[in-house]
Structure 1
Amino acid sequence: MQIHTPRLLLREFKQDDWHFTNLYESNEEVMRFQTSEVRSSRESQEYIQQCLEEAKEEPRTLFDLAIVLRTTNMLIGRVGMKVDYDAEEAVLWYILNQTYWNKGYTTEAASAMIHFGFDDLQLHRIWADCDPRNIGSYRIMEKLGMRREAHFRENIFIKGHWCDSYVYALLDHEWR
């Protein structure tokens, strides 16, 4: 599977992509609001292997794609969705190498995934969540046209602390 945008290629992971994913997965600032801890090289390799295995499932419910700059062919992050076909919805996520923050790449990649979800998968709703302290993440959601549906207080225990969550969502007819 490949999705092209003006500046990006969203593609399936390859086994040796872990070298590039580990550049951001080993960065404490990038992983600050992620549910997982900073990853070792081995953990990044295992994550890529898991993505490759899950991509083979039928029906496919996990779409976790590499974000690659078209001009340089550099892998700079990932964007994905976990689909629940019964509910006709998916949860969206993204993570980007800090070097490429504030350039619109995440918004461009996430927009392409939303387009895929609504147009190709015929989903009714796409949602995402983030820690309210992660201002960059919820601003991306707002740029995508998502609306804040909830602010859950101390609903998830991450890295030794109870954390709040913002939940944002977009419906198919709102996207169009």
Structure 2
Amino acid sequence: MVYKFETDRLLLRYFELSDASRVQDLAGNEEVARTTLSIPHPYPDGAAEQWIVNVRQFSEKGERYAFAMVKKEDGLLIGTVSIGISKRHNHAELGYWVGKPYWGQGYATEAARRILQFSFEELHLNRIFAAAIITNPGSYQVMRKIGMKEEGVFHQHIFTWGKYEDLVFYGMVKADYFRIK
């Protein structure tokens, strides 16, 4: 099944190979890469194309959904929001990034809120969680704004950019989602 969602300002749709150069441009920004857990820097040629092929295959299996965040007003791709699903545990990890020119404008919150709704109301998942590098308060502010609660800090959990970084984890279960909806 192919999913496509609209919010007030965004269209969330599957990625197309024609999006690859835009993904590489946005994700290739060092400041964007420094705020994420998995974007390489420098961003290698061909990596965006391979990533798009991979996420399309994962979505066909219902294992991972990655959506392009596209501004409705001008059709410009500005970032991504995704969920990686564990069918065995009926939960998913939420992830997102937004291109630097679009930081601080509420796009990640808007997209994440819609994907939370999709996760609980359409996929019937029981739990959604997310992690952010502790030095990226913008990311965990998104988690707070959509109603997720802080669940803890994993000290020196990842090694990135030449040093160990703490990760802060947030989560929400289905019952809490429907209680605050």
Using the size of structure 2 for normalisation, the TM-score is 0.91
AA in 2 matched with 1:49: V
Displacement of 1:87: 1.1
Corresponding residue of 2:57: 53
Displacement of 1:55: 2.3
User: Superposition pairs for residues 4-15 of structure 1, below 5 Å?
Assistant: 4-15=6-17
User: Superposition pairs for residues 69-148 of structure 1, below 5 Å?
Assistant: 69-148=71-150
Moved more, 39-48 or 3-12: 39-48
The answer to whether the 8 A contact 2:10-2:72 is kept is: yes
AA in 2 matched with 1:37: P
Counterpart-to-counterpart distance in 2, 1:46 and 1:81: 18
Counterpart-to-counterpart distance in 1, 2:158 and 2:100: 25
Counterpart-to-counterpart distance in 1, 2:22 and 2:39: 17
1:139 is paired with a residue whose SS is helix
CA deviation string 1:100-147 (max 9, x = no partner) = 111111100000000000000111110000111001001111111111
Corresponding residue of 1:153: 155
Corresponding residue of 1:162: 164
1:41 is paired with a residue whose SS is coil
The answer to whether the 8 A contact 1:19-1:41 is kept is: no
CA deviation string 1:9-33 (max 9, x = no partner) = 1001111101111121110001103
AA in 2 matched with 1:106: A
What 5-or-longer segments of structure 2 have no aligned partner? none
Q: Which of 56, 64, 74 is residue 66 of structure 2 equivalent to?
A: 64
The answer to whether the 8 A contact 2:34-2:161 is kept is: no
Question: Identity over the aligned pairs, expressed in percent?
Answer: 30
Corresponding residue of 2:40: 37
Counterpart-to-counterpart distance in 2, 1:159 and 1:49: 27
AA in 2 matched with 1:110: A
Using the size of structure 1 for normalisation, the TM-score is 0.94
Query: Which ranges of 4 or more aligned residues in structure 1 deviate by more than 6 Å?
Result: none
Moved more, 35-44 or 126-135: 35-44
What 5-or-longer segments of structure 1 have no aligned partner? none
AA in 1 matched with 2:44: S
Moved more, 33-42 or 142-151: 33-42
Alignment length, in residue pairs?
A: 174
